[in-house]
Amino acid sequence: MVTQLLFFFFAACAGGSALAMVTRKNPVASAMWLIGTFFSLAAIYTLLGAFFIGIIQILVYAGAIMVLFLFVIMLLNLGNNLEADIRGTGWKVMAGGGGLVMLALLARVFAGDVPMPLGQQAGAAVLAAQQAERGTVGIIGIPLYQDFVVPLQATAILLLIAVVGAVMLAKRKV
């Protein structure tokens, strides 16, 4: 009961912050509301039992990625002369319609009897048992370095390419 009440509270915070992020004119205010969404989502991950993902959410998303966004907003000095940023009424109607269509499609997918090919064999109880056996970090770290070694290396190469590419793109003269 308490878990569900907390879930509804943080879900309302996440949804409200996301709406505020889309509707605020000032980019700095938008970024701050997005950070609010990220913190609420971190709380929801913790409620769902994914403690490590919750911490990573705060460290990487709210900590690193949003600092990058705010740094660029302030580097480009976008916070004070607010030009017309939100599109006109026709676009607003289109955005509302598009959002509702997307919501209906996703709700239809999620509300139906979703076949779970990965199986019901690993339920919440199995997850909790694994967490007790291997630790909070271990249930992610051990599969990451045993079953997902190739994707992990591919991610490492991707990050290297991204770092080199970002420096190349942002340099004045190559």
Q: Which of 113, 115, 116, 173 binds another protein (CB under 8 A)?
A: 116
To another protein, the closest distance from the beta carbon of 80 in angstroms equals 14
- Residues numbered 53 to 82 that lie near another protein (CB under 8 A) are 53, 56-57, 60-61, 64-65, 68-69, 72-73, 75-76, 78
Q: Does 30 bind another protein (CB under 8 A)?
A: yes
CB 37 within 8 A of CB 17: yes
Using CA atoms, how far apart are residues 53 and 135, in angstroms rounded to an integer? Answer: 13
Q: Does 32 bind another protein (CB under 8 A)?
A: no
Using CA atoms, how far apart are residues 26 and 32, in angstroms rounded to an integer? Answer: 10
Size of the residue set binding another protein (CB under 8 A): 90
Site string for another protein, 133-172 (x = CB under 8 A): ------xx--xx--xx--x---x--xx-xxx-xxxxxx-x
- Residues numbered 90 to 109 that lie near another protein (CB under 8 A) are 91-92, 94-96, 98-100, 102-103, 106-107
Rg (the chain; Cα; Å): 20
Using CA atoms, how far apart are residues 159 and 12, in angstroms rounded to an integer? Answer: 34
Distance linking the first and last C-alpha atoms of the chain: 59
To another protein, the closest distance from the beta carbon of 115 in angstroms equals 11
CB 44 within 8 A of CB 10: yes
